[in-house]
Amino acid sequence: MPRFVPVVVCAPCLRIRCRRAQRAPRPVHECRVRLILSHQRAGGIIKRMREISREALTPGSPETVFDLVAAVEDYPRFLRGCAGAEIHRQDEREALASLDLKGGVFKQRLTTLNRMERPRRLVMNLSEGPFRYLRGEWRFEPAGSGCRVSLRIEFEFSSRAQDLLLRPSFEALCDRLVQDFLRRARENASRHG
């Protein structure tokens, strides 16, 4: 049976480290974008998994910020790059929702199944879209009088061509998404506080 060796490539500095031998602390870069390669020793299959991580402090309680992120139907009103939103089904624990996203050359409809654990976290898993794999996780933790919000997205496009063409636009879109959520959370806090 072939063995897979996980390897991490830090995109900003292009340092390669084997995860098993990873003893030194990870380099910290503001963008925290990593390319995760898993290559098969015999056969040379390469899987291009990418990860985006963002973290910020914002005013408001974790409950308030969670509700802001969970309100998918409001996204087109304040998210740059979101042309439309549709909720196919929703209950207290789960929602199946689609977003029409536009940013640079990235113009796609993305459908995710969102598992909600109010007010701690919201996990998104790909249902339909231009990805082979997509998983995202929002976390909300109390931090003083505010909330520490973190977003982590792991994704892999369906093809190498899509990765080369769409990845930069998708990463920029994710940056704008986080900035817009933070701006909206600050606006809500100033209106209610």
Rounded distance between C-alpha atoms, residue 12 and residue 173, angstroms: 18
What predicted TM-score, i.e. pTM, was given to this entire model?
Answer: 0.73
**Most confidently predicted of 27-31, 117-121, 169-173:** 117-121
Domain that holds residue 153: 56-192
Question: Same structural domain for residues 168 and 76?
Answer: yes
Question: Same structural domain for residues 33 and 67?
Answer: no
Question: Same structural domain for residues 109 and 16?
Answer: no
> Tokens at residue 92, please?
């207290």
Question: Same structural domain for residues 39 and 65?
Answer: no
pLDDT-derived band at 165 (thresholds 50, 70, 90) equals: confident
Residue 49 lies in a domain: no
Residue 7 lies in a domain: yes
Residue 50 lies in a domain: no
Question: Same structural domain for residues 82 and 124?
Answer: yes
Question: Same structural domain for residues 32 and 70?
Answer: no
Question: Same structural domain for residues 36 and 65?
Answer: no
Question: Same structural domain for residues 170 and 87?
Answer: yes
Q: Considering only 37-41, 79-83, 175-179, which range has the smallest mean pLDDT?
A: 37-41
Question: Same structural domain for residues 162 and 67?
Answer: yes
DSSP state of 19: S
Question: Same structural domain for residues 120 and 164?
Answer: yes
Residue 161 lies in a domain: yes
Residue 177 lies in a domain: yes
Q: What is the SS3 assignment for 129?
A: coil
CATH of the domain at 71: 3.30.530.20
Residue 121 lies in a domain: yes
Determine the angle formed by the axes of helices 160-192 and 62-70, rounding to 10 degrees: 130
Mean pLDDT, the chain, integer: 80
Beta strands in the chain (DSSP E): 4-10, 15-18, 33-40, 46-59, 82-90, 94-103, 106-117, 121-128, 131-143, 146-157
> What pLDDT is attached to residue 138?
97
Count of domains for the chain = 2
pLDDT in tens, 29-52: 334 444 444 433 334 445 578 999
Residue 105 lies in a domain: yes
Question: Same structural domain for residues 31 and 103?
Answer: no
Return the HEC string of 161-174. Answer: HHHHHHHHHHHHHH
Question: Same structural domain for residues 95 and 188?
Answer: yes
Residue 131 lies in a domain: yes
Single out the residue of 143, 153, 121 nearest to residue 31, CA to CA: 153
**Most confidently predicted of 17-21, 43-47, 143-147:** 143-147
pLDDT-derived band at 115 (thresholds 50, 70, 90) equals: very high
